Structure 1
Amino acid sequence: MSEKIFVTKSYLPPKEEYTAYLTGIWERSHLTNQGPLVLELEQKLRDYLDVEHLHFASNGTIVLQMALKALKITGEVITTPFSYCATSHVIAWENATPIFADIREEDLCIDPDCIEALITPKTQAILATHVYGIPCQLERIEALAKKHNLYVIYDAAHTFGVKVDGKSLLSFGDVSTCSFHATKVFHTVEGGMITTPHQELSEQLKLYRSFGHIGDEYFDIGINAKNSEFHAAMGLCNLPHVQEIIAGRHRVTESYDHQLNWSKLRKPVIPKNVEWNHAYYPIFFKTEADLLRTRQALEAQQIFTRRYFYPSLNTLTFLHAQQSCPVSEAMALRALCLPLYPDLSDTDVQRIISIVNENL
């Protein structure tokens, strides 16, 4: 039986690079609460992404919660139904109301044409996801937000290393958040970050991350969204390898691009002005039955894919959504992410391609 192949595999740096950081942690006994490695990682991320205000946090979900809290969002938030559940869950968790706008079929991101009709006096923000690391319609969303005096929050969980016209995708919006979960292109095992161009908002986010206090001085309510020296050490090890990681993922992507049977499949369109990070490799079947048959054939060979994203979030009954999103609902039934990671062998890539093509 062949070794199991999963949809993703976490990148691990050379062990000696990580253990070198552990030696320092043991010497200092400073494990958390903005230790020196956390501060170093934050600064290196600011430099790498060319952003001024950035905060490292414990995961990519809690930073979305912090964004909603800092912007005082309590009303309606127009968001996408085609995303990981965290995007909509945080809105409901913060006692705001998710309002789902349908998506564009070509890139799976929220459709600006569907946003404006949903804006009401209760609307306070647009929370959009850069799906698979593909940018939303940035200019159109910004124009809508400006016209209706709304905040723009980007769930940019998938976007580390993505650039638009040479500018980091994480630098857009009133707030952008990113996940550093172990499955991501860049990871800190568990972790996330939040960035904003607004200094006052940045200071508020910094307080929220640490119980609302600095030392013995209390300024506001807050939560515990800090991250540890051990997680920062993994980030410091992985950051220098990001381009190598993206190049490895690009190699796999090219094989899929050139050899899958595109007469019976489709994939998202990557705009020409985008430097993509190859975060995922989604394919869309003509029918859900085609997807299920192909997925079963892959699993029979110990190759495990993921229905990502599924289901369309507007169909989750506990979110009490009223909006029909036919494009998202249809695409969610037909979306499947294939295995993609830097050390996926050419032999295994060819096996995956053959099985997919044979079952279309």
Structure 2
Amino acid sequence: MKRGVSELAYFGGSAAFLQKVFVGRPNVGDRARFLDRLDWVLNNRWLTNGGPLTREFEGRVAELAGVRHCVATCNATVALQLLARACGLTGEVLMPSLTFAATPQAMRWIGLDVVFCDVDPATACLDPARVEAALTPRTSAIIGVHLWGRPCAVDELDKIAAANGLVLLYDAAHALGVTTGGRPIGGFGVAEVFSFHATKVVNSFEGGAVVTDDGELAARIRRMHNFGFASPGTADSVGTNGKMAEVAAAMGLTSLDTFADSVAHNEANYDLYRAELAGLPGVRVIGYDRQERNNFHYLVLELDGKITRLHRDVLLDVLRAENVMAQRYFAPGCHEMPPFRGEPAGTLPHTERIADRVLALPTGPSVTREDIRRICDVVTMAVNHGAEVTHRWRARRGEAGTREVPE
């Protein structure tokens, strides 16, 4: 336990961790089981093009999502693009700015105009009222994002989409295994997209999937992700190559095998973080609805600098000096990134406030209870001495060029 600010590594003390502790460190699952699957793939010499492991993976994901159809892809960004193409989107697409850059990038890459809407300050997800206010004759779709695995206001967004003849899609990259209203994420809107990137609760090295109950849409996406082939060697439509390889499916299946254990570990980590940080002024652990299922994959702090006298970015520097590789999930908002400056958007005060205050801390099966106690010790020390930490941080960096921190 650190007994004073001078013992923080940023100010010359010893780091709390010898090795870096990461947010989203990949969970490889049972290595022997993965290698058995890989041997099976190599022995059968079916390496891609909708092989048996990919089909098995699709079936298991569809079951977990409570839908009839799943089309696995090489990554979730391509899945979003395939879905948008298959739905015939044109003109403007409404979405939150508080998301990973891939959400707007996927739409802009295929020629759609992105319109950012503000989020609900209580959920950090797309605010239906702001969506309704942003509608124009050029709007063709709404894309909600289940941020940190916290579900969107699905019923309200569905009503807006239905009343205005819009396509409703969801970026569900964070939300595998999550429910809202007792229903699994995956079956809302026209379709939803999962990510199986290496950092996700279930990973396939790189990967994604479109899940839906619309059989015709699923069939169209399946053709599109395989060069538009309706039959071997014959393309009846324009397509691309977005298929998942068998080695990725082998990893995905192995990761799914331990999904329940990973969620249980994440939930225990979440509970310990909450207990360790309980009562710390100006610090809030973003909560999950315990009446629903969640994967607890993200541990997100919200820091109120007016109370702590410590800006989120100062705490980030302090933690990284301790080898705690915390992350700003997500800052800046996408509307402030160079590719999207000038995109149609109203004022986004809630997005900017949340993006300026949140910090993701390490969790997952590789993070131990002792790791969490050490991380929380650093957070507690920094927050309890916020004014002193801020002053010394400024002195070390110099005033010029530093971002504003609370006085």
TM-score range, shorter chain: over 0.9
Amino acid at match of 1:334: R
Deviations 1:74-116 (A, max 9, x none): 2111100100001111121111111111001111101011111
Determine helix, strand or coil for the equivalent of 1:177: strand
Query: Conserved in 1, the CA contact under 8 Å of 2:108 and 2:114?
Result: yes
Q: Report the counterpart of residue 248 of structure 1 in structure 2.
A: 265
Q: CA deviation at 1:162?
A: 0.8
Q: Report the counterpart of residue 89 of structure 2 in structure 1.
A: 73
Q: Report the counterpart of residue 220 of structure 1 in structure 2.
A: 237
Q: Report the counterpart of residue 351 of structure 1 in structure 2.
A: 374
Task: Report the Cα distance in structure 2 between the residues aligned to 1:269 and 1:24, rounded to whole angstroms.
Answer: 42
Q: How does 1:38-117 map to 2 (within 5 A)?
A: 38-117=54-133
Amino acid at match of 2:115: I
Q: How many aligned positions are there?
A: 360
Task: Report the Cα distance in structure 2 between the residues aligned to 1:36 and 1:100, rounded to whole angstroms.
Answer: 40
Which is further off, 165-174 or 82-91? 165-174
Q: 1:30 aligns with which of 22, 29, 46?
A: 46
TM-score, with structure 1 as normaliser: 0.96
Q: How does 1:180-259 map to 2 (within 5 A)?
A: 180-213=196-229, 214-259=231-276
Q: CA deviation at 1:163?
A: 1.6
Matched, 1:308 2:325: no
Q: 2:166 aligns with which of 138, 141, 150?
A: 150
Task: Report the Cα distance in structure 2 between the residues aligned to 1:125 and 1:262, rounded to whole angstroms.
Answer: 42
Task: Report the Cα distance in structure 2 between the residues aligned to 1:148 and 1:172, rounded to whole angstroms.
Answer: 17
Task: Report the Cα distance in structure 1 between the residues aligned to 2:233 and 2:366, rounded to whole angstroms.
Answer: 48
Query: Conserved in 2, the CA contact under 8 Å of 1:106 and 1:268?
Result: no
Amino acid at match of 2:373: Q
Deviations 1:239-283 (A, max 9, x none): 121010001111111011112144312343433542111121111
Q: Report the counterpart of residue 289 of structure 2 in structure 1.
A: 271
Matched, 1:291 2:312: yes
Deviations 1:8-27 (A, max 9, x none): 21111222111111221121
Query: Conserved in 2, the CA contact under 8 Å of 1:55 and 1:195?
Result: yes
Q: CA deviation at 1:7?
A: 1.6
Gaps of 5+ in 2: 1-14, 384-407
Tell me: CA distance 1:166–1:322, structure 2 relative to 1, closer, same or farther (3 Å): closer
Query: Conserved in 1, the CA contact under 8 Å of 2:201 and 2:262?
Result: yes
| Aligned Cα root-mean-square deviation (Å) | 1.5
> Could you say which structure has the larger radius of gyration?
2
Q: 2:299 aligns with which of 281, 284, 305?
A: 281
Q: 1:176 aligns with which of 174, 192, 195?
A: 192
Task: Report the Cα distance in structure 2 between the residues aligned to 1:218 and 1:293, rounded to whole angstroms.
Answer: 55
Q: 1:322 aligns with which of 330, 333, 344?
A: 344
Q: Report the counterpart of residue 392 of structure 2 in structure 1.
A: none
Deviations 1:46-79 (A, max 9, x none): 2333210110110011000011111111211110
Matched, 1:336 2:354: no
Amino acid at match of 1:329: E
Amino acid at match of 2:359: L
Amino acid at match of 2:152: C
Q: CA deviation at 1:220?
A: 0.4
Q: CA deviation at 1:201?
A: 1.1
Which is further off, 71-80 or 19-28? 19-28
Query: Conserved in 1, the CA contact under 8 Å of 2:64 and 2:177?
Result: no
Determine helix, strand or coil for the equivalent of 2:168: strand
Gaps of 5+ in 1: none
Q: CA deviation at 1:44?
A: 2.2
Amino acid at match of 1:108: A
Which is further off, 115-124 or 321-330? 321-330
Determine helix, strand or coil for the equivalent of 1:275: coil
Q: CA deviation at 1:331?
A: 1.1
Amino acid at match of 1:299: R
Deviations 1:171-223 (A, max 9, x none): 11101000000100011111010012212111111111100003122210001
TM-score, with structure 2 as normaliser: 0.85
Amino acid at match of 2:150: I
Q: CA deviation at 1:312?
A: 0.8
Identity over aligned pairs, percent: 29
Which is further off, 269-278 or 52-61? 269-278
Q: Report the counterpart of residue 15 of structure 1 in structure 2.
A: 31
